[in-house]
Amino acid sequence: MNQQGGEKPRRRRYFMGILEMLGLKRLINAYGTVTLIGGSRPSEEVLKAMAEISKVFVSMEELYRKVGEIIAKETGAEAAIVTSGAAAGVTLSVAACMTGGDLKKAYQLPNTTGLKDEIVVQRKHKSIYIYVAQIPGAKLVYVGNEQRTLPSEIESAINDKTAAILYMYFDPQEGVVPLDKVIEIAHRKGVPVIVDAAAELPPVDNLRKFVKMGADLVVFSGGKDIGGPNDTGIVLGRKDLIDAIFKLGPHSLDVVDGQLTCFIGRPMKLSKEDIVGLLVAFLRYIKMDHEARLRKLHEMVDKVVNELSNIPCVKVSKYLPDSSHPVRPLIIPKAEFDLSNCVLNADELLELLKKKDPPVIAYSAHGKVYVNPQCLTDDELEIVIERFKEVFSEKCKNCPKKRK
Ligand SMILES: *Cc1c(COP(=O)(O)O)cnc(C)c1O
């Protein structure tokens, strides 16, 4: 007799797809590498490596070190470490600059008594992600105003409590003191510069650029364009500071005052599957033909523009984002829907697309709707185009403007 009391075993669940089992819908991602809908779609190669490492145990310390060495070598950085996302990378980078690898200091966080605990940030760099820089107990010291920051303002904000300058990379940006100048000021004052470049890929050259400019720590998302698991990130930079991140213990414990303890890195730990998945995605990413890929993304946008060019009252065009656009990276073209003469506004259009099956997730900015080809396959692009056509043909049929 089996556990179901003599009936045939009910194994249906295991034969169903995960989506069916959970009652979830697959979404068509015309938005980009956003965490809200899953962020990335790791390749088969990545998934295969994750499955392979999942079957064995390894020394996490050695795994972290080896993977860090490979990434450092490929980016020209002194050292590198994988983190559980770019946001965790920023948190740990700030903590590393505050503690410098001193375990006693690491143990006292987020109590910052006696530690350097000020992080200088240009006011225009205040972003939705800035919050995470405060997790180690650091205080954000904003310099400048909404319009601009002056080099002298950065300079005079630096004092003996300054742990680092955090540069949120949203360049090109008017009124911001540029990274090279910030590095020059910081280093003259003996203060490290952390660059949050989470979504600045492509161009792939950025993996080397900021380190080469002299930034002390540079943070990238592993789960955005690199295509690793969405909960991965990379920090590149100075060996002593990467070692300090290491000591903050994403994977380990240590003894302080005769007591075995974990540290601030512990809730940001990674699995061996994540680390290996990120590595394979990274190696794939740096070998990719990025010119061909960008050409392809342009073709995809052109296709959207061509196929949807005859929607009445809506202007569809190819948009190359300027720095006021909220979705990075700027290098990837988007299809822009100008609705100023349409009865639908941006939110209504997005809502109608979302109600389709499968739902299409596009996004809006400054009242316009955008389609980002970054995460779309060719087949999905067709679906996006069809859904836009459907939405507008339904809407235009009953449009009050038509009757006038
Ligand atoms: C996406 C993003 C982050 C967060 O990255 P995760 O890898 O999702 O943790 C942080 N900073 C900026 C500027 C980002 O664009």
State both tokens at 111: 């109590």
Residue 399 has a pLDDT of: 86
Q: What is the mean pLDDT of residues 234-252?
A: 94
Q: Which domain holds residue 347?
A: 7-30+289-395
Q: What is the mean pLDDT of residues 208-221?
A: 98
**Domain final residue pick, 267, 287, 307:** 287
In a domain, 38, yes or no: no
In a domain, 37, yes or no: no
Indicate if 189 and 277 belong to the same structural domain.
Answer: yes
pLDDT band at 9 (very low <50, low <70, confident <90, very high): low
Answer whether residue 251 shows pLDDT above 60: yes
Indicate if 124 and 19 belong to the same structural domain.
Answer: no
Q: Write out pLDDT tens, residues 114-163.
A: 999 999 999 999 999 999 999 999 999 999 999 999 999 999 999 999 99
Distance 132 CA to ligand 1 centre (A): 10
Indicate if 119 and 226 belong to the same structural domain.
Answer: yes
CA atoms within 13 A on the CB side of 33: 27
Indicate if 237 and 105 belong to the same structural domain.
Answer: yes
Q: What is the mean pLDDT of residues 197-216?
A: 98
- Residue 92's contacts (CB-CB under 8 Å, 6 or more residues apart) are 83, 235, 245, 248, 250, 264, 265, 268
Indicate if 128 and 229 belong to the same structural domain.
Answer: yes
Residue 154 has a pLDDT of: 98
Residue 1 has a pLDDT of: 44
Residue 11 has a pLDDT of: 52
Answer whether residue 220 shows pLDDT above 80: yes
Answer whether residue 190 shows pLDDT above 80: yes
Indicate if 159 and 208 belong to the same structural domain.
Answer: yes
Per the DSSP assignment, residues forming a β-bridge with 193 are: 165
Indicate if 112 and 192 belong to the same structural domain.
Answer: yes
Indicate if 204 and 324 belong to the same structural domain.
Answer: no
196 lines ligand 1 (CB under 6 A): yes
- Lowest mean pLDDT of 113-117, 334-338, 397-401, name the range: 397-401
pLDDT band at 252 (very low <50, low <70, confident <90, very high): confident
Q: What is the mean pLDDT of residues 327-334?
A: 94
Indicate if 250 and 126 belong to the same structural domain.
Answer: yes
Q: Percent of the chain scored above 90 by pLDDT?
A: 90
In a domain, 233, yes or no: yes
List the CATH number of the domain containing 390: 3.90.1150.180
Distance 219 CA to ligand 1 centre (A): 9
364 lines ligand 1 (CB under 6 A): no
List the CATH number of the domain containing 199: 3.40.640.10
Q: What is the mean pLDDT of residues 175-197?
A: 98
**Domain final residue pick, 287, 318, 345:** 287
**Domain final residue pick, 287, 314, 346:** 287
Find, among 326, 317, 318, the residue nearest to 363 by Cα: 326
Report how many domains make up the chain.
Answer: 2
Indicate if 204 and 301 belong to the same structural domain.
Answer: no
Residue 14 has a pLDDT of: 53
Answer whether residue 2 shows pLDDT above 60: no
Indicate if 249 and 358 belong to the same structural domain.
Answer: no
- Among protein residues, the one with the nearest Cα to ligand 1's atom 13 is 198
Mutate to test the pocket of ligand 1, among 221, 224, 278 (most ligand atoms within 8 A of CB): 221
Indicate if 68 and 184 belong to the same structural domain.
Answer: yes
Residue 174 has a pLDDT of: 93
Tell me the whole-structure pTM to 2 decimals.
0.94
200 lines ligand 1 (CB under 6 A): no
First-to-last C-alpha distance (Å) of the chain: 74
Residue 368 has a pLDDT of: 98
Q: Write out pLDDT tens, residues 379-392.
A: 999 999 999 999 99
